[in-house]
């Protein structure tokens, strides 16, 4: 029987929700790995709405769960209903929605607060010694909730202009966590905490390399499950 994996979304669209390519890549790799997946998102209002054509704020309000349902093809549940006992692992794709809706990192950086249901989910899987997979900016959730853990968001320097958000690694270190430098097609496994991370779009890389990196993260999560 396949592993039961919960996938947590943060909306729909890179600038104010979940990064669509990352969410899709995770789902493809989970499908290939024979996993049984259920999708969740918090039933909350988005911090903001961004016009993805213009790249500017839009004067409207949207709901994270309703928007995430687009990616889930309608098959989605409120994150408040997620029970860690019914799953073997949990995965969080990236996107600015993680830093805006699942926590306040986009505004407050390392001093951010984490949504109560996101925090409860992370704590429940961690306490049960079940693996947690995170990509792109979502490793900051683990860094905030689990001081001392090991994660990667790619490199800690903007190598060849490919890691424009490299300062995130320093903020993670300031939280008392260890940042491990990895390339886009790699992931890092914190064996003690069963946390698996990969940088995805934190690196300016071809889409297939990001897809492959997320694949390594999913594979490692399924191995630990």
Which residues are the active-site residues?
A: 136
Give which of 97, 76, 71, 74 is closest to 6, Cα–Cα: 76
Please name the residue that has the structure tokens 């209903």: 81
Please give the Cα distance from 165 to 154 (Å, whole number). 9
Phi and psi dihedrals of 32, rounded to 5? -65, -30
Q: Exposed (0-12), middle (13-18) or buried (19+): which is 97, by Cβ within 10 Å? A: buried
Please give the Cα distance from 66 to 214 (Å, whole number). 25
Please name the residue that has the structure tokens 């929700």: 17
Here the tokens at position 17 are: 């929700």
**DSSP H/E element including 135:** strand 132-135
Q: Confirm if 175 and 144 have CB atoms less than 8 A apart.
A: yes
- Report strand pairing: 178-179 vs 150-151: parallel
Q: Confirm if 31 and 102 have CB atoms less than 8 A apart.
A: no
Largest CA distance in the chain: 47
Residues in the chain: 225
């Amino acid at each position: 029987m396949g592993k039961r994996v919960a996938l947590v979304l943060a909306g729909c669209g890179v600038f104010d929700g979940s990064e669509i390519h990352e969410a899709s890549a995770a789902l493809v790799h989970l499908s290939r790995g024979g996993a049984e997946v259920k999708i969740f998102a918090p039933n909350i209002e988005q911090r903001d709405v961004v016009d993805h054509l213009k790249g500017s704020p839009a004067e409207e309000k949207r709901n994270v769960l309703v928007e995430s349902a687009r990616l889930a093809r309608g098959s989605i549940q409120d994150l408040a209903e997620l029970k860690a006992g019914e799953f073997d692992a949990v995965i969080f794709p990236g996107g600015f929605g993680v830093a805006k809706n699942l926590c306040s990192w986009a505004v407050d950086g390392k001093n951010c607060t984490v949504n109560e249901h996101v925090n409860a989910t992370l704590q429940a899987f961690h306490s049960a010694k079940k693996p947690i997979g995170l990509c792109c900016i979502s490793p900051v959730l683990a860094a905030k909730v689990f001081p001392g853990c090991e994660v990667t968001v790619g490199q800690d320097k903007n190598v060849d202009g490919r890691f424009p958000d490299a300062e995130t690694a320093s903020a993670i270190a300031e939280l008392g966590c260890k940042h491990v430098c990895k390339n886009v097609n790699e992931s890092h496994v914190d064996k003690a905490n069963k946390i698996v991370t990969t940088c995805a779009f934190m690196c300016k890389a071809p889409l297939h390399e990001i897809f492959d990196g997320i694949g390594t993260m999913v594979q490692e999560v399924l191995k630990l499950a």
